[in-house]
Amino acid sequence: MITGELKSQIDQIWNTFWTGGITNTITIVEQLTYLIFIKNLDETETRNELKAKRGFKYIPIFNKDQQQFRWKNLKEMDVTPRHTIFSNTVDGVFPFIRSLGKEKSLFSTYMKGASFGISKPAVLDQVIEKLERLPMENQDTKGDIYEYLLSKLEGGGTAGQFRTPRHIIKLMVEMMQPTLEDSICDPAAGSAGFLVAAKEYIDKHYGVTDLDKHSDFINKKMFNGMEFDATMLRIASMNLYLHGVEEPNIIDIDAVSKDNTISDAYTLILANPPFKGTIDKESISPGLKNVTNTTKTELLFLALMLRQLKTGGRVAVIVPDGVLFGSGKAHKSIREEIVANHKLEAVISMPSGVFKPYSGVSTAILIFTKTGSGGTDYVWYYDMLQDGKSLDDKRNLLVEEALFDDFAFGDGTRIQEAVKSHENFNLPQILDHFKYLKSPYFKKMHEKDGSLVQIHDVPKNLGWDKFIENTCTHDYSDRTSQSFLVPLEEIKENDWDLSINRYKEIVYKEIEYDAPEIIIERIKKLSEERDILLDSLI
């Protein structure tokens, strides 16, 4: 987990850009990406040189005429000559990294559009000096540092896109529990936040032996993404690389266009596709229109996910609320497809402030499995009221920072403590309820509709020691609660409406008012007191 000291060091680098006249968030992140990439090339070369002394054979990244491009040499140069090497568009650093062959650079494809954007030599000098102080030798620390850099992008992407908050990503990944057998995809990859979180989950839950055994699959096939923005392609690739994925498979393509022909390829999809976008009818992949005949990207992405998944594959995706209740034919057809022909497992309603200050749109997380033969029985609903931060533009933390960071960035070891903060932080309970509903313990204490049954057994046999307080004894048929189940038949009767407001029961508090004569007497008394005060002023 990133420390306060590291955050302070990164913030200092950020301030150096700002005071140097570079204030665009994505420009800063991209320029830092290039510098970190150049630093990593030199670190890789140094490791290979040391291994070569023991007989290791490798193809050098830098030839004898390119040694000035190595980080260890760049950092020692005088300010002006170093800036000249960076800004030289013919024989400088950037032409070098753009020309690296695939065997030397895993990201040469995405580096083709890389360009240097730091015009002041003094700014470059200060940034390099501060970067050199960051402890980036450890892979985990390196990933944490870059993740914190990317958090600066939160909400502020390009073309109306906005980055998914880290704690929401972590929630979705923890719910889906990726395995070493999974082929994972994000068809709207952005900065690859979902894929990185999945990699972190894999690293945390498997030992070195298993990871080594699957290393080739992990490095080349496990993590897949689609993105057509050149800047985000570079950032996503670097993000995965810094988290230990040597050859991330990020494809330069518009996922819902006819250029994308991938199908039956993945076992897990994690995504937050763009909302309220449209695509030209002629560009849409024909197969998607057969499922939902629309130009709306939020619907087309759902159809795409069904196509790209293997049978048995799972999805956790964020959608705008309109997808859940829209009355148009396209909206209804995609909902019916998911519920009737596959298995919808969960609808988690999120408050509108989750994506503030950049968007106030209300959203939900859908979780479903591709079956091709139905399987929806009961759908679990959860009404997320608080995500741990204020729901205004400030998004201030409402819970202890260490507790929040443990959930969003750490190992989740403090989840039991989170029960005390439930009023302001619903995510731990969401995760716990979902895991309980999918566990064998649920059937021991609950009917299919979620109602409790009487059972005489010791708590340990009922899973009480494996879940947080009240999870095992919650009445999942109670629709006045935040967590409840809804049967398939009811959803079908409601024309496949999936909005939580259709099924949640609102309990109104009864308010008793005084009798009219008492209220009138109170008004008279206030009037008399007012007259006395007025007389005292005369």
133: in domain: yes
Per the domain annotation, does 41 fall within a domain? yes
Neighbouring CB atoms inside 10 A of 527's CB total 10
Percent of the chain having pLDDT more than 70?
A: 91
pLDDT per residue over 46-84, tens digit each? 888 887 887 767 778 888 999 999 999 999 999 999 999
Q: How far apart are CA 165 and CA 393, in angstroms?
A: 14
Name the pLDDT band for 185 (thresholds 50, 70, 90).
very high
Range of weakest confidence among 274-288, 460-474, 491-505: 274-288
Question: Can you read off the two tokens belonging to residue 486?
Answer: 């809804």
Q: Is residue 26 part of a domain?
A: yes
Higher pLDDT pick, 83 / 289: 83
In a domain, residue 84? The reply is yes
> In terms of Cα–Cα distance, which of 225, 186, 220 is closest to 106?
220
How confident is the model over 498-519, as a mean pLDDT?
88
3-state helix, strand, coil in the chain (%, to 5): 45, 10, 40
Task: Report residue 365's pLDDT band, with 50, 70 and 90 as the boundaries.
Answer: very high
Alpha-carbon gap, residue 175 to 317, rounded angstroms: 12
| Angstrom distance (rounded) from CA 526 to CA 202 | 69
Q: d(Cα 33, Cα 142) in Å, to the nearest integer?
A: 12
The answer, yes or no, to whether residue 161 has pLDDT greater than 60, is no
What's the pLDDT band for 347 if we cut at 50, 70, 90? very high
Whether the per-residue pLDDT at 194 is higher than 80: the answer is yes
- 48 within 8 A of 162, measured Cβ to Cβ: no
3-state secondary structure of 259: coil
Looking up tokens 């994308």 gives 260
Counting the structural domains of the chain, the total is 1
Check if the beta carbon of residue 237 is closer than 8 Å to that of residue 196. Answer: no
* 104 within domain boundaries: yes
Q: Which residue has the higher pLDDT, 116 or 3?
A: 116
- My answer on whether omega of the bond before 273 falls inside 30° of 0, hence cis, is no
* Pairwise CA distance, residues 130 & 142, whole Å: 15
Q: Tell me, what CATH number does 77's domain have?
A: 1.20.1260
Lowest mean pLDDT among 162-171, 297-306, 431-440: 162-171
pLDDT at 104 over 70: no
Q: What percent of the chain has pLDDT over 90?
A: 49
User: Strand 223-227's sheet: what is its strand order?
Assistant: 249-252, 223-227, 184-186, 266-271, 309-320, 363-369, 343-350, 378-383, 483-487
Closest CA to 321 of 372, 370, 359: 359
**Per-residue pLDDT at 56:** 67
Q: Which two tokens stand for residue 356?
A: 């503030």
Distance CA 464, CA 452 (A): 14
Six token digits for residue 380: 């679990």
In a domain, 62, yes or no: yes
Does some domain include residue 327?
Answer: no
User: CA–CA separation, 379 vs 449, rounded Å?
Assistant: 10
* Other C-beta atoms lying within 10 Å of the C-beta of residue 391: 16
Domain range for 43 is: 4-142
Provide the residue type at 370 as one letter: K
Instruction: Return all residues near 422 (Cβ < 8 A) that are at least 6 apart.
Output: 428, 429
Residue 80 maps to a domain: yes
Q: What is the pLDDT of residues 322-342, one digit of tens each?
A: 999 999 999 999 999 999 999
Strand partners, 355: none
Q: What stretches of 22-120 show up as alpha helix (H) in DSSP?
A: 25-52, 71-74, 79-87, 93-99
